[in-house]
Amino acid sequence: MENSPSTWRRTLDQGRASRPQLEGLDVYAHRLRGSAQRLSGTRHRLRRRAKRVLDLGRFYQDLSNDALRETAVEMRTLFRCRQDKATDLERAFALIREVAVRQLGEKHYLVQVMGGFALAQGSIAEMATGEGKTLCATLPATVAGWRGMGCHIITVNDYLAERDAQWMGRIYSFCGVRSDFVHQGMEPHARKYAYQADVTYCTNKEVTADFLRDRIILGPNRDSNQVLLARIVGTQTRRLNQVVQRGLNYAIVDEADSVLIDEAVTPLIISGPAPNTEQLDAYRQAATLAKTLSLNVDYVIDMKYREIKLTPKGRRRLEDQTAALGGLWRVSRRAHEMVTKALTATAFYRRDKQYVVDEQKVVIVDDFTGRLMPDRSWRDGLHQAVEAKEGLELTPVKDTLARISFQRFFRLYRKLAGMTGTAIEASQEFWSIYHLPVITIPYNRPCLRRQLPEVIVQTEAEKWDLIVEEIATLHAAGRPVLIGTRSVQASEHLSRLLKDKQLDHQVLNAVRHKEEASIVSLAGQQGRITVATNIAGRGTDIKLGPQVKALGGLHVLSADKNESDRIDRQLFGRCARQGDPGSSSSVVSLEDELIRRHAPKAYQRLTRWKPLTAKGLFRTAQHRAQRTAQQQRRHVVRSDQWLDQQLGFTHSL
């Protein structure tokens, strides 16, 4: 199907982005409505419908492959012509379920069918890790493909997009639905072909970037009526044919909490070259000047908000040092900004944590997945400031051509749904920003995970010694261990400690990212030790090796609390899947970054004298961190709304 103007109109005029951000008492009324939806017996209705699907499955079991394929074609025609009724969706799910058995040897469980209905009605389905979200998504995606308007399944990395498209492609193909995937580095004609598929797997960054590039190509024809008029009269046909997407109809977002919540603060920006040799020289000079300033004398650090502020003394000192430089340094405000940026690069951006140096280039590390992002760069001169700090060649400054926040982009979809293992904590935010209710889907089998008591020690050195000791004990018993760390630096430090103890292990981080899926998939083998940054490897099943169940299953050990308890729960969810045994524990210290950044100073001092208050200290720090992140995300939404109201860019992104 070509890029139809009608689809663009639906994208622009009916998307969630047009809904205003609520204020005052309307916020609380809206939250109550969302809570009512979660508590209104929706899960019971989904279970009843899912049971009817399982009952209908007996009819399709007796059909031959040819007869089943013909029935799928009839279903496709029914949904394409919009002649379907509520019961037809149940019949469709039953048919797709039978196709999955014959093509993949996997049958959707009752809870997966429930999740399929939740996605089909435009909700967030909270399904525990290992409950089969990938297979679950094929139910609503196939039906959406039959409707012929396109369905995007959003994943967190290119590997999963390609894997899932090929893995689930046999189901789609049997049902008369074409599936494809988009990945980094694809040519425009290949992207266009992939987006014209009935079901397209892609990452949030690729689909958003393609949308922005299309907006740049459209130029002044950004309004849906203008696009329609241009196509009718035949003007700018060549430009319109360069657009790769055909509109934003329906998206199913995998790991929805990561994509829609955690990564929603940073906007995606398309930029173009803007060479400026004088500015690059100024960044190098700023790095040199920053080294001459003293902490708490010339500048102060706000750890909570990650900000640097020059003191009056620091401003005067900087003005004295730059008086003879000329050029950009003649403007004091500009000079202050550039030196502050250099100080920020030194104070908050650390090698092997926020970035790595690969082939003499600064490569950003994704905070949430621990993966490298070689095609991304920090904006407003921060990237050049980090490069200057490292003494590397500076990349040319770029001009912003187009930008959009992930919050705004995903609200443009006519219909949006998502699935993740951890959503209930963010249910109010899902509802207030995206108007998506969260529905918790029960386990297929009881969860046998044992959550061991949290261990809190005074210093980081004590923490690492205790972690190594616990790993050695579990390894001696033959149990596999997965250790979660927050940074490349921490994972490499733990790796060195394990080597000193002659404990064989695997490390998965932004530097050692190759063969990620295979490393994670083998983490459940007997005696295996795997060190992974954050939640790298999400989407890959960890299957237990022979005899491991009898030993107690996989043990997951957290070496640091995250700023969101959802991410902690995601890590622990890597063990005890589908009724397997497993256990989890955490060892943390009062010197961890979470405490240093977000815990009240008075509370930290009290904890040193009264260790029993330590658990409360971590809860307080995590709560403050989550509240700060939430405020930042609200600010992004308000900024989008301000642009719409003040600048009149309702259809310009």
pLDDT at 135 over 70: yes
Which range is least confidently modeled, 86-100, 439-453, 594-608? 594-608
End-to-end CA distance of the chain: 25
Q: What residue spans define the domains of the chain?
A: 5-268+406-440, 275-396, 448-589, 595-653
- Measured distance CA(367)–CA(355) in Å, rounded: 9
pLDDT at 137 over 90: yes
pLDDT value of residue 431: 92
Inter-CA distances, 288 with 62, 277, 339, 346, Å:
77, 17, 9, 11
Strand order from edge to edge, sheet including 361-365: 355-358, 361-365, 372-373
- Enter the DSSP assignment of 362: E
Nearest alpha-carbon partner for 599 in 578, 623, 564: 623
CATH topology of domain 275-396: Pre-protein croslinking domain of SecA (3.90.1440)
Quick one: residue 88, left, alpha or beta (phi over 0 = left, psi -120 to 50 = alpha)?
Answer: alpha
- Measured distance CA(95)–CA(559) in Å, rounded: 46
- Measured distance CA(286)–CA(264) in Å, rounded: 31
pLDDT at 651 over 60: no
Instruction: Average the pLDDT over 635-648 and give the result.
Output: 68
Q: What is the pLDDT of residues 124-133, one digit of tens each?
A: 999 998 899 9
Distance of CA 317 to the CA centre of its chain: 43
Q: What is the pLDDT of residues 4-35, one digit of tens each?
A: 433 433 443 344 555 555 555 555 565 666 66
Q: If you search the block for the tokens 């951006």, which residue do you land on?
A: 349
- Measured distance CA(454)–CA(588) in Å, rounded: 8
- Measured distance CA(150)–CA(249) in Å, rounded: 6
CB of 140 within 8 A of CB of 120? yes
pLDDT at 157 over 60: yes
Q: What is the pLDDT of residues 164-185, one digit of tens each?
A: 999 999 999 999 999 999 998 8
Instruction: Average the pLDDT over 205-225 and give the result.
Output: 80
Give a three-class secondary structure readout of 548-589: HHHHCCEEEEECCCCCCHHHHHHHHCCCCCCCCEEEEEEEEE
pLDDT value of residue 648: 45
Q: What is the pLDDT of residues 245-289, one digit of tens each?
A: 998 999 999 999 989 998 887 788 888 777 778 888 999 999 999
Q: Residue 508's beta-bridge partner residues?
A: 532
Task: Give the angle 35-132-74 at the CA atoms, nearest 5°.
Answer: 90
- Measured distance CA(127)–CA(444) in Å, rounded: 10
Q: Could you give the percent of the chain with pLDDT greater than 70?
A: 84
Q: Do the domains spanning 275-396 and 448-589 agree at the CATH topology level?
A: no
Task: Give the CA dihedral 39, 445, 171, 62, nearest 10 degrees.
Answer: -100
Q: What is the pLDDT of residues 472-525, one digit of tens each?
A: 999 999 999 999 998 888 999 999 999 999 999 998 876 655 567 778 888 999
Q: What is the pLDDT of residues 356-373, one digit of tens each?
A: 998 899 998 876 666 777
pLDDT value of residue 186: 93
CATH of domain 5-268+406-440: 3.40.50.300
pLDDT tier at 603, thresholds 50, 70, 90: low
CB of 405 within 8 A of CB of 431? no
pLDDT averaged over every residue in the chain: 86
Q: What is the pLDDT of residues 412-433, one digit of tens each?
A: 999 999 999 999 989 989 998 9
CB of 561 within 8 A of CB of 624? no
Catalogue the long-range contacts made by 227-236 (C-beta closer than 8 Å, 24 or more residues apart).
227/5, 227/8, 228/5, 228/6, 228/8, 228/9, 231/5
pLDDT tier at 616, thresholds 50, 70, 90: confident
pLDDT value of residue 54: 97
What is the pTM assigned to this prediction? 0.85
pLDDT value of residue 584: 96
pLDDT tier at 331, thresholds 50, 70, 90: confident
Query: Structurally, what CATH architecture does the domain formed by 448-589 represent?
Result: 3-Layer(aba) Sandwich (3.40)
pLDDT value of residue 486: 87
